[in-house]
Structure 1
Amino acid sequence: MDLQQLLDRAEIADAITRYTLAVDEGDFDRLDTVFTPAAHIDYTESGGVADVFPVVKGWLAEALPGFSTYRIHMLGQISYTFADDGNEAAVAAYFHNPMRIDDGKGGERVVEVGGLYRHTFVRTPAGWRSRRLHEQVVWTRGF
């Protein structure tokens, strides 16, 4: 592994962290620094939508406020597989996302999702951006 690939890994890891913070903090415009404008995002395994980035960004802004707290994404290992030219990378990042939701009885309950974020990142003039995200759900609890 050379110095450029170490720098690329760090930049991609930063983009994944920006993604989780943007979602957790409800700052959906920050997602513009994570995805390409035409990125395809698929949340269907967790009951969400699959569409191009602008549509999914709007859906997130509408759907996530239904959770009273969704601010604790946790990330684990990140795997990187770079294309030969170094301008594209298949990236998988383990995630755990506990959230609180109204239980319909005046209280709240915790629901959790765990799995892998599977991205395809591409090098752009603005830095590494995801052009594809598939949220692969491995387990859930509390739904």
Structure 2
Amino acid sequence: MTQRAQLTGLLDRLAIDDLITGYARAVDDGDWPAYRALFTPDGRADYRGSGGIEGMAGDVSVWLEETMHLFPVRQHLIVNRQVHIESMDGEAGDGALVRADYINPMRLDTERGDSAAGGASARPDGIRPDPVRAASRRPDSVRLDGSGGALPAVPNLTSGGRYTFGLHRTDAGWRVHEVAVHEKWRRTSEDLVPQPR
């Protein structure tokens, strides 16, 4: 591998790292135009692995905007990034695969309460919310322990899992062609409340 190829590979990795960080920030900040700009024109997002939807990135961003306003505090931590850039005759290609673990604490907007979450009833479009997610949307920012004392405020929902990003190099730089979420675990505030003995 030539020094030029090594330098190109290093620059690609830095650009890809910025792209993945930009993804996390766009979702956490609710910057949906920035979210859409991260994708190729035919880019897709698949959140079915965490109770969401799959589709074109523009359509999914509308769903995210409607869903994420219930959780005004969210903080994706995307770590353990494994980057594989395709190789073509010893030179960096125009495709890359990134696998990265995440942990994502989110807090419910307690001003909205249960009514904003819609309980477990179907929405007008006929889609029923995930029952575990619906249970986590109650305004339980402070809970009582078994002795009647207050527990510290905790996120209403924390989840972890793995992202898989398929990336393409474009004239504008690296962009997301597809992203899929594979949730491995989820914890709600109720999980932290001691049960009576």
The residue correspondences of 1:1-143 to structure 2 (distance < 5 A) are: 2-70=6-74, 72-85=75-88, 86-101=93-108, 102=110, 104=114, 106-108=139-141, 110-142=156-188
- Residue 39 of structure 1 aligns to a residue whose secondary structure is strand
Report the secondary structure of 1:87's partner residue: strand
| CA pair 87-107 structure 1, distance change in 2 beyond 3 A | same
User: RMSD value over aligned CA atoms?
Assistant: 1.7
Looking at structure 1, the residues matched to 102 and 139 of structure 2 have their Cα atoms a distance apart, in angstroms, of: 29
Cα offset for 1:136?
Answer: 1.1
Contact 1:15 1:33 in 2 (8 A): no
Task: Using structure 2 for the length normalisation, give the TM-score.
Answer: 0.67
C-alpha offsets along residues 96-126 of structure 1, whole Å, 9 cap, x if unaligned?
1000125646543521111111000010000
Q: Distance in 2 between matches of 1:139 and 1:126?
A: 36
Deviates more, 1:31-40 or 1:57-66: 31-40
Which structure 1 residue ranges, 5 or more long, are not aligned? none
Query: Could you tell me which amino acid in structure 2 is paired with residue 53 of structure 1?
Result: A
CA distance in 1, matches of 2:23, 2:40: 13
Letter in 2 for 1:120: G
- With normalisation by structure 1, the TM-score equals 0.91
CA separation of 1:100 and 1:88: change in aligned 2, threshold 3 A: same
Taking every aligned residue pair, what percent have the same amino acid on both sides?
Answer: 35
Q: Tell me, in whole angstroms, the C-alpha distance in 1 between the residues paired with 2:183 and 2:24.
A: 16
> Which of the two has higher C-alpha Rg?
2
